[in-house]
Chain A
Amino acid sequence: MNVNKSLLPLINPLSKDNPVIVQVLGICSALAVTAKLEPALVMTISVTAVLALANVIISLLRNTIPTSIRIIVQLVVVAALVVIVDQVLKAWNYEVSKALSVFIGLIITNCIIMGRLEAFAMSNRPWASFLDGIGNGLGYGIILVIVAFFRELLGSGTLFGCQVIPQWCYEHGYQNNGMMILPPMALITVACIIWVHRSRNKDLQE
Chain B
Amino acid sequence: MKGLKKKIDSVKPQFEKGGKFSKLHSVFDGFYTFLFTPNETSRSGVHIHDSNDSKRTMIMVVIALLPCCLFGMWNVGLQHALAIGDTNHDLFHLFFYGFWAVLPQILTAYIVGLGIEFIVAQIRGHEIQEGFLVSGILIPMICPVSTPCWMLAVAVAFAVVFAKEVFGGTGYNFLNVALVTRAFLFFAYPSKMSGDNVFVSVGDAAAVDGFSGATPLGQLAASSGPAEVLGVTGNPLSYADMFFGMYPGSWGETSTFCILIGLVILLATSIASWRIVFSGVVGGVLMSLLAHNFATPLYPVTYLTPIEQLSLGGFAFAIVFMATDPVTACRTNIGKYIYGFLIGAVAIIIRCYNTGYPEGAMLAVLLMNCFAPLIDYCVVNANINRRLKRAAVKN
Cβ-closest chain A residue relative to B188: A179
Q: Mark A172-201, 1 if CB is under 8 A from B, else 0.
A: 011101111010000010000001000000
A188 to B166 CA separation, bound complex (whole angstroms):
12
- Which one of B71-79, B189-197, B199-207, B212-220 is at the interface? B189-197
A175 touches B184 (CB 8 A): no
> Is B294 an interface position by the 8 A CB rule?
no
Please indicate the chain A residues that have their CB under 8 angstroms from the CB of B150 in the complex. 173-174
A177 to B190 CA separation, bound complex (whole angstroms):
9
Please indicate the chain A residues that have their CB under 8 angstroms from the CB of B162 in the complex. 188
> Is B236 an interface position by the 8 A CB rule?
no
Please indicate the chain A residues that have their CB under 8 angstroms from the CB of B166 in the complex. 195
A179 touches B191 (CB 8 A): no
A173 to B184 CA separation, bound complex (whole angstroms):
18
* Chain B nearest CB, measured from A167 CB (Å): 17
A-B contact count (CB 8 A): 21
A141-188 contacts to B, CB under 8 A, are 173-175, 177-180, 182, 188
Total count of chain A residues near the partner, CB < 8 A: 10
Please indicate the chain B residues that have their CB under 8 angstroms from the CB of A173 in the complex. 148, 150
A180 touches B148 (CB 8 A): no
Cβ-closest chain A residue relative to B162: A188
Please indicate the chain A residues that have their CB under 8 angstroms from the CB of B187 in the complex. 178-179, 182
* Chain B nearest CB, measured from A68 CB (Å): 41
* Chain B nearest CB, measured from A194 CB (Å): 11
Please indicate the chain B residues that have their CB under 8 angstroms from the CB of A195 in the complex. 166
* Chain A nearest CB, measured from B70 CB (Å): 29
B189 touches A177 (CB 8 A): yes
Please indicate the chain A residues that have their CB under 8 angstroms from the CB of B188 in the complex. 177-180
A4-42 contacts to B, CB under 8 A, are none
A180 to B189 CA separation, bound complex (whole angstroms):
10
Please indicate the chain A residues that have their CB under 8 angstroms from the CB of B190 in the complex. 178
> Is B151 an interface position by the 8 A CB rule?
yes
Cβ-closest chain A residue relative to B186: A179
B192 touches A179 (CB 8 A): no
B148 touches A178 (CB 8 A): no
Please indicate the chain B residues that have their CB under 8 angstroms from the CB of A178 in the complex. 187-190
Cβ-closest chain B residue relative to A178: B188
* Chain B nearest CB, measured from A23 CB (Å): 21
Q: What are some 21 contacts across the A-B interface (CB < 8 A)?
A: A173-B148, A173-B150, A174-B150, A175-B151, A175-B189, A175-B191, A175-B192, A177-B154, A177-B188, A177-B189, A178-B187, A178-B188, A178-B189, A178-B190, A179-B184, A179-B187, A179-B188, A180-B188, A182-B187, A188-B162, A195-B166
Q: Assuming A173-B150, A175-B192, A177-B188, what are 4 further A-B pairs, CB within 8 angstroms?
A: A175-B191, A178-B190, A180-B188, A182-B187
